[in-house]
C-alpha cells in the first residue's frame, strides 16, 4: 500500500501560499507576462524581433518569458501588451462582503 501524501488546497495565488510579499502584484505580473508570451507566439516573433519592437534587449525578453519579472513594473508590462496590439481594459468594482480587501486579477479574451 502506498503512503498517502497530505495535500493542502491552494488559495489560487501561489505567491500568497508561499508567503511572499506583494503576492497580488506578483500574480498579476505573472499573468501579464503569460499574455505577452502568447502575443509574441501568436505573431510568430523571435525573441530578437520582440525585443526590437518593445525597445529592449533580447536577454530582457528571455527573462520576461521565463517569469523573471523583478525588473519589470506592472505599468511596463501593460505598455508591452499595447505595443503588441492588445487592448487593455481596467475595471474597478467593489469587493464582495465576504472579502474585506480587494484583489487584482488579469483576465483575457
Domain membership flag for residue 15: no
Q: In which domain, by residue range, is 46 found? A: 21-83
pTM for the model stands at 0.83
What values do phi and psi take at 16, rounded to 5? -70, -40
User: Do you know the residue count of the chain?
Assistant: 109
CATH code of the domain containing 58: 1.10.260.40
**What confidence score (pLDDT) does residue 12 get?**
87
Neighbours of 28 (CB within 10 A): 20
Neighbours of 14 (CB within 10 A): 13
Neighbours of 51 (CB within 10 A): 19
**What confidence score (pLDDT) does residue 27 get?**
93
> Percent of the chain having pLDDT more than 70?
98
Mean pLDDT on 19-35: 93
Residue 44 per-residue DSSP state:
T
Q: Give 53-96 pLDDT, tens digit per residue.
A: 999 999 999 999 999 999 999 999 999 999 999 999 988 888 88
Domain membership flag for residue 61: yes
Number of domains present in the structure of the chain? 1
Residue 38 pLDDT exceeds 90: yes
Q: How far apart are CA 78 and CA 76, in angstroms?
A: 5
**What confidence score (pLDDT) does residue 95 get?**
87
Are 84 and 36 in contact, with CB atoms under 8 Å apart? Answer: yes
Domain membership flag for residue 72: yes
Amino acid at each position: 500500500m502506498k503512503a498517502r501524501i497530505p495535500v493542502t488546497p491552494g488559495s489560487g495565488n501561489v505567491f500568497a501560499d508561499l508567503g511572499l510579499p506583494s503576492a497580488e502584484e506578483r500574480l498579476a505580473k505573472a499573468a501579464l507576462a503569460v499574455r505577452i508570451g502568447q502575443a509574441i507566439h501568436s505573431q510568430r516573433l523571435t525573441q530578437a524581433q520582440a525585443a526590437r519592437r518593445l525597445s529592449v534587449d533580447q536577454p530582457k525578453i528571455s527573462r520576461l518569458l521565463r517569469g523573471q519579472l523583478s525588473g519589470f513594473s506592472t505599468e511596463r508590462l501593460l505598455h508591452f501588451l499595447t505595443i503588441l496590439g492588445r487592448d487593455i481594459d481596467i475595471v474597478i468594482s467593489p469587493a464582495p462582503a465576504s472579502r474585506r480587501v480587494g484583489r487584482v486579477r488579469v483576465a483575457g479574451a
